[in-house]
Structure 1
């Protein structure tokens, strides 16, 4: 028996949801460019937000980059997941507005949390950078897959659409990185950049919502309760940002800086960079050296030449210009040249610390490693290395090649003194001492006995020369300071170094050597 075609029963095919209308190509490109660029602005600015609390080290930089990449990954993943389940046109505007609110909230959250997480603990660094970056970056990273979903009306053009929008997003990130690093950071405080970004995201989200609502019944979440909630969140974010504690008097291109008066000393001023005590000066007495390590440097300077004899001195790092003042006061006629990377810090020193450049004191703004290469050979009697990024000597100023440049600039018999900070187990100071000793024939180390024994963190002063050092005179002079340090010299240096790594431009893991774990 045969059956006719009329006997075949065909199951009804479920109707597919109507595809969402694509955005105009220009609007789609703008949204991807803008959202991707905003992520990179957040990443760049967040490094400056967390710096006053956890420093600006390789670990901090790596954490910011890693957290930002994690936010991009999870945001894109979530955005793609949502795009397959809901109409992307109804999600784009809220994503931008919520990202703006999250960016505004970031400022007070980081400043309040930073006070609790202050220091360099890895857990604190990761948590603070996550608070600074993750939420707004994840929301912004969801925009691209939402836009891509809307533009995929023709599957034959999938590769073209995805490739074009991906390229536009990358260009947005590149543009934002360059504009933020070269223009915005130099012109505006981080607070202004962040609040400006939050406002731009909010305005863009509102404008997009209005546009989409006019096109069709979608856009911003419709219920008045949702709109009121977003408005309240925005006002709360703005209020918290206004009252959040600000650790800076001045935000320079490199530092969060402030100057505080010493209530116990009429002319005393303390310069804080990224919330760490960096320099102390007495406006009424330039010979007053408050910190122990500055007293040690002063002692070296005092015995480097007959009393009162002028010197040609080069200072790598300016800070509060404590040592140039001291040399000018104790050795009239001394020529001090200061290499300071932060020009705005020099201006702050002029305004609040009484620095007066001119004959006998010149400040050259730029990276010390670059500038020292332009110094004439055999031109300086004393070189003082006191440059830090937070509490860390910048790695390119700690290598053998840098020590060789200093040696070239020094006259025969000239002395190099370098300030170093390290903590138990003291891996960095051993390596840095070994590095300087690889270029100079005579080296010594000055530090508190407990620090040399590896029992506490401290400043260490490396003293180096190609001629025999005036060790006896230096011991006598150090015996006059309030807390007498120990000095390691001769064969004791070899035992202290104990085969430590010599740092070079090719391999200088300074941050890893400084890790206390």
Structure 2
């Protein structure tokens, strides 16, 4: 059950994003399945011989688990997006029926064990303890071992096979011999599910511990490559021209950097390494803090990433690695870390911003890429958060996005040294993707300052 829940999040993530909403939907659906399955299993245990139900319940759960992969991958093509209804529906398809059947097993086992009411507490306590230990083992084993070693589809199909084997053994043990036709049917379903999983559309070239990653070619530029992470268009790289910046936010950061070409750059988030490649010809030292080591390997294979003394990569959580950086060591720090389309909440708080301030030289510049919708609640809160630490803060985005007419990328630029707002405004207005500039404090108004104790990033974005 816990393996299915953890892997289910990874199965639906490429289509609806790995956000707080997605996690909440998966956990909520799993709990609903546990409640419904336990209630139904208890009801059946009081009316039928539990020994005749255990094997069939597990066999049915195995079949439904096996078809989860093709079901979600086909349905996911039609349910893409972060709409709440799509998120919940895809979570239901991934989890509810197999989880409910697996959850019905516990009351059946308790009914078989309760021969003497005098030891009811001991039996229920023992089974609860064994179930909890199994859940702990499944959670740690899946999170630390299985996800790293095996693709999601393989984990689910192996889980289905093991569940079917246990169900078949229990059926035989309690005299419910499965006919030859039944065994053939189960084999056909199992191999059919595996075959459907193999041919079902998948958005991944590589499935890492954190991302479903894919690289596609740009039909209009021979060297153009787009990196997709969890079905979101994340980075663009031109293999033939590292100075080509496709996305507007990267053009605006380049405009800011051009006013005082940086020598020592720190990147909080690597992605496709677009900006590290852009600055490679001028910066003498660049360090990229990237969470996902497998993504770095993909960048080397398909996006031409080359590292060396002047461009180094450190893998791990960006905030933890940032804390290890020496004070006053960088003249430009770029924040470009995302989970799907969301800046991870612990990289958006005032405490993180203070650490950025510590790492930057007195005249250093912090450039933070943020995505937000028309309500602009998150980006305004983030602007207020950065302004609580730095003296001078600007926000760059298209004029209609700044006015709340559409969603867009926003770049928050901050420094203790004066920022040449006129030069920045002129530069971003002439960029290929033009933008406007506003002073952050007046634009953010009374927006909340995000803190480690209270940073409702997902809720601000979804409002």
The corresponding residue for 1:260 is: 216
Give distance in 1, aligned partners of 2:452 and 2:278.
33
The corresponding residue for 1:101 is: 63
Give distance in 1, aligned partners of 2:214 and 2:237.
14
1:498 alignment partner, one of 439, 445, 457: 445
Give distance in 1, aligned partners of 2:436 and 2:60.
58
- Cα offset, 1:225, TM superposition: 6.2
Q: SS of 1:383's equivalent? A: strand
2:14 alignment partner, one of 42, 46, 52: 52
The corresponding residue for 1:33 is: none
The corresponding residue for 1:243 is: 199
- Cα offset, 1:228, TM superposition: 5.5
Give distance in 2, aligned partners of 1:52 and 1:370.
26
Give distance in 2, aligned partners of 1:86 and 1:226.
22
Q: SS of 1:91's equivalent? A: helix
Q: SS of 1:116's equivalent? A: coil
- Cα offset, 1:224, TM superposition: 6.3
The corresponding residue for 1:311 is: 263
1:362 alignment partner, one of 290, 295, 312: 312
Q: SS of 2:77's equivalent? A: helix
Give distance in 2, aligned partners of 1:465 and 1:44.
41
The corresponding residue for 1:337 is: 287
The corresponding residue for 2:84 is: 122
After superposition, give the CA deviation of every residue in 1:47-75 in whole Å (9 maximum; x if it has no partner). 10111011111111111111111111111
Contact 1:91/1:219 (8 A) holds in 2:
no
Give distance in 2, aligned partners of 1:403 and 1:270.
30
- Cα offset, 1:219, TM superposition: 2.6
Give distance in 2, aligned partners of 1:406 and 1:394.
15
Give distance in 1, aligned partners of 2:211 and 2:30.
22
2:48 alignment partner, one of 71, 79, 86: 86
Larger Rg over CA atoms: 1
**Mapping of residues 367-382 of structure 1, within 5 Å:** 367-382=317-332
Contact 1:304/1:415 (8 A) holds in 2:
no
Q: SS of 2:202's equivalent? A: coil
Give distance in 2, aligned partners of 1:138 and 1:445.
49
The corresponding residue for 1:153 is: 115
Give distance in 2, aligned partners of 1:398 and 1:513.
12
Give distance in 1, aligned partners of 2:102 and 2:73.
22
1:409 alignment partner, one of 354, 359, 373: 359
After superposition, give the CA deviation of every residue in 1:183-204 in whole Å (9 maximum; x if it has no partner). 1111111111111111111112
After superposition, give the CA deviation of every residue in 1:164-213 in whole Å (9 maximum; x if it has no partner). 0111011111110000000111111111111111111111212222233x
Contact 2:429/2:436 (8 A) holds in 1:
no
Q: SS of 1:90's equivalent? A: helix
Give distance in 2, aligned partners of 1:149 and 1:237.
33
Contact 1:152/1:161 (8 A) holds in 2:
yes
- Cα offset, 1:100, TM superposition: 1.1
1:328 alignment partner, one of 276, 280, 305: 280
The corresponding residue for 1:36 is: none
Q: SS of 2:280's equivalent? A: helix
2:176 alignment partner, one of 210, 214, 219: 219
Give distance in 2, aligned partners of 1:354 and 1:343.
16
Give distance in 2, aligned partners of 1:344 and 1:236.
31
Unaligned runs of 5+ in 1: 1-38, 213-217
After superposition, give the CA deviation of every residue in 1:137-165 in whole Å (9 maximum; x if it has no partner). 11111111111111111121111111101
After superposition, give the CA deviation of every residue in 1:5-58 in whole Å (9 maximum; x if it has no partner). xxxxxxxxxxxxxxxxxxxxxxxxxxxxxxxxxx00000001101110111111
The corresponding residue for 1:389 is: 339
1:286 alignment partner, one of 223, 228, 242: 242
The corresponding residue for 2:105 is: 143
1:276 and 2:232 are equivalent in the alignment: yes
* Count, aligned residues: 463
Contact 1:247/1:275 (8 A) holds in 2:
yes
After superposition, give the CA deviation of every residue in 1:324-354 in whole Å (9 maximum; x if it has no partner). 110113x1x5211000000100011111111
1:177 and 2:143 are equivalent in the alignment: no
Give distance in 2, aligned partners of 1:317 and 1:109.
33
1:429 alignment partner, one of 369, 372, 379: 379
Contact 1:40/1:177 (8 A) holds in 2:
yes
TM-score by length of 1: 0.87
Contact 1:304/1:470 (8 A) holds in 2:
no
- Cα offset, 1:127, TM superposition: 0.6
The corresponding residue for 1:483 is: 433
Q: SS of 2:434's equivalent? A: coil
Give distance in 2, aligned partners of 1:482 and 1:257.
27
**Mapping of residues 6-45 of structure 1, within 5 Å:** 39-45=1-7
Give distance in 1, aligned partners of 2:15 and 2:424.
37
The corresponding residue for 1:215 is: none
Unaligned runs of 5+ in 2: none
After superposition, give the CA deviation of every residue in 1:227-252 in whole Å (9 maximum; x if it has no partner). 56545443442332222111101000
Q: SS of 1:248's equivalent? A: coil
CA RMSD of aligned residues (A): 1.4
